[in-house]
């Protein structure tokens, strides 16, 4: 009987296991996890902190014992596993070493949390894991926080800003970048979002870096690169993630910013696959590989890897950068890469709504929609279909749906074909 290992049991690891069992694979599977928790959804951590979701809700696939019965696998003692790709072996946290026929690396990413000046660790928070969420929820429960600095104008950062504001905590929101969502939003879109945030009492400190920080009079003093200062009770760092690839012995597997994979989720080492946030798969908009740290991407890559480990021949065509985010009564949707060349065109610009896109060769290669949320699924569908090179004939029904939900006629025509009226 073949022997497989899955290292990391989040969305990608879980779906790989589910995928390989779904095609009838009876290999012996051993799962390496950092904690004894069942697979969880990092996206839900902020909902748990807010109190919109109970603790069990963080684990959408159920309890570990139940999963073991359903998917027939064993778990090694929790802790960081270490992979020797050359020898096809893994050292578990208890020091035991096992060899495998095939392995999946699904170790995800970790929040990047550098020290903030001289602040002690108990004043610095982040948001990725269940324990990050439990820790933030606990301090919020003590009412010790009156004013908080959120560093990182990211999708995670805005969720933290929202939950703190809902609790009546004054928020200072900062980033080295000049604008919010620097990799997903055009500057013009960012400016509209920032106006909405300022209108809700959030203090924006963009375009500056935290240069120093220390404790003073029971609070945290923060210094920025322009010489300005803020006094807060805590700092939440949301400045991004780093792929969790430190578990692989150096120089064995091709790693760029993440583990490089092909469309079958194969790495540069035969028998070793990778999926999810730790890997760099195909980005359809640039015809190359890139990190795409998104849940659905991890699910599809995991399932593809699992089926291929089982001996199937399945390819995953790839994805594009995208975000669909709701915060503080605003809906921001972005598809594609804002830095791609093309003609930039604004389609809607009124009091509440904004739509801008990059047009290249008569097609939409990137789009930002603000408060035009109802269209997001259909817009993404059309962009992906185009990028997957499917011939997409004009679809009158879809056109009607998009127009009815408020997407401008000209943008609709660029997406689905047909008349520009």
Ligand X SMILES: Cc1cc2nc3c(=O)[nH]c(=O)nc-3n(C[C@H](O)[C@H](O)[C@H](O)COP(=O)(O)OP(=O)(O)OC[C@H]3O[C@@H](n4cnc5c(N)ncnc54)[C@H](O)[C@@H]3O)c2cc1C
In angstroms, the Cα distances linking 295 to 116, 126, 319 are 29, 19, 12
- 382: left (phi > 0), else alpha (psi -120 to 50), else beta? alpha
Q: Using CB under 6 A, which of 58, 81, 202, 366 touches ligand X?
A: 81
Q: List the one residue from 6, 33, 161, 330 that touches ligand X (CB under 6 A).
A: 33
Q: How far is the CB of 129 from ligand X (least distance, A)?
A: 7
The contact mask relative to ligand X for 87-106 (x = CB under 6 A, - = no) is: -------------------x
Minimum CB distance to ligand X smaller for 33 or for 174 = 33
Instruction: List all residues 6 or more positions away from 88 whose beta carbon is below 8 Å from its beta carbon.
Output: 99, 100, 101, 103, 271, 272
Of 195 and 296, the one with the shorter C-beta distance to ligand X is 296
* Whole-Å CA distances, 382 to 54, 324, 332, 388, 393: 36, 15, 18, 10, 11
The rounded distance, in Å, linking the Cα atoms of 336 and 319 is 9
Residues 198, 200: Cα–Cα separation, whole Å: 5
Judged by CB under 6 A, the residue of 107, 190, 267, 365 near ligand X is 107
Distance of closest approach, residue 274 Cβ to ligand X, in angstroms? 9
- Residues in 245-264 that interact with ligand X by CB under 6 A: 247
Q: Of 28-36, 64-72, 95-103, 145-153, which part binds ligand X (CB under 6 A)?
A: 28-36
Whether the CA torsion 185, 189, 195, 197 is positive or negative: it is negative
Binding of ligand X by 244 (CB under 6 A)? yes
From CA 118, how far away is CA 34, in angstroms rounded? 29
Residue 294 engages ligand X in binding (rule: CB under 6 A)? yes
Q: Which range, of 41-49, 307-315, 343-351, 368-376, touches ligand X by CB under 6 A?
A: 41-49
Q: Are 201 and 170 in contact (CB under 8 A)?
A: yes
Closest to ligand X by CB, 123 vs 159, is 159
Among 7, 16, 104, 413, indicate the residue that binds ligand X (CB under 6 A). 7
182: number of Cβ within 10 Å: 16
Among 298, 387, 402, 407, binds ligand X (CB under 6 A): 298
334 belongs to the binding site for ligand X (CB under 6 A): no
Binding residues for ligand X, rule: CB under 6 A, are 7-13, 32-34, 42-43, 45-46, 80-81, 106-109, 127-128, 155-156, 159, 244, 247, 276-277, 293-296, 298
């Amino acid at each position: 009987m073949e022997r497989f290992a899955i290292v990391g049991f989040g969305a990608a690891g879980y779906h790989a296991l589910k995928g390989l069992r779904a095609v009838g694979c009876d290999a012996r599977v051993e799962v390496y996890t950092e904690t004894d928790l069942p697979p969880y959804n990092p996206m839900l951590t902020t909902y748990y902190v807010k109190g919109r979701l109970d603790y069990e809700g963080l684990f959408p696939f159920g309890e570990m014992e139940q999963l073991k019965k359903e998917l027939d696998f064993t778990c090694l003692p929790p802790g960081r596993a270490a992979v020797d790709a050359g020898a096809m072996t893994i050292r578990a946290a208890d020091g035991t070493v096992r060899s495998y026929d095939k392995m999946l690396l699904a170790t995800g990413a970790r929040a990047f949390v550098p020290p903030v000046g001289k602040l002690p660790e108990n004043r610095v928070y982040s948001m990725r894991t269940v324990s990050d969420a439990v820790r933030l929820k606990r301090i919020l429960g003590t009412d010790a926080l009156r004013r908080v600095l959120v560093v990182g104008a990211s999708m995670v950062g805005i969720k933290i800003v929202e939950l703190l504001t809902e609790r009546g905590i004054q928020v200072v929101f900062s980033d080295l970048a000049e604008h919010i969502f620097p990799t997903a939003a055009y500057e013009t879109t960012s400016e509209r979002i920032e106006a909405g945030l300022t209108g809700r009492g959030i203090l924006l400190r963009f375009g500056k870096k935290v240069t120093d920080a220390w404790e003073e009079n029971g609070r945290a003093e923060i210094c920025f690169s322009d010489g300005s200062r803020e006094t807060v009770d805590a700092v939440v760092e949301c400045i991004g993630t780093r792929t969790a690839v430190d578990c692989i012995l150096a120089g064995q597997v091709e790693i760029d910013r993440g583990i490089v994979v092909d469309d079958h989720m194969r790495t540069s080492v035969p028998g070793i696959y990778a999926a999810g946030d730790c890997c760099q798969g195909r980005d359809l908009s640039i015809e190359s590989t890139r990190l795409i740290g998104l849940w659905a991407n991890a699910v599809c890559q995991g399932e593809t890897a699992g089926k291929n480990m089982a001996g199937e021949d399945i390819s995953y065509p790839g994805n594009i950068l995208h975000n669909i985010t709701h915060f503080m009564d605003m809906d921001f949707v972005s598809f594609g890469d804002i830095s791609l060349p093309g003609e930039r065109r604004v389609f809607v610009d009124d009091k509440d709504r904004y739509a801008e896109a990059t047009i290249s060769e008569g097609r939409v290669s990137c789009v930002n929609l603000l408060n035009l949320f109802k269209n997001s699924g259909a817009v993404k569908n059309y962009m992906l279909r185009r990028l997957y090179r499917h011939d997409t004939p004009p679809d009158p029904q879809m056109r009607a749906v998009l127009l009815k939900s408020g997407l401008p006629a000209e943008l609709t025509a660029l997406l689905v074909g047909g008349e520009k009226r």
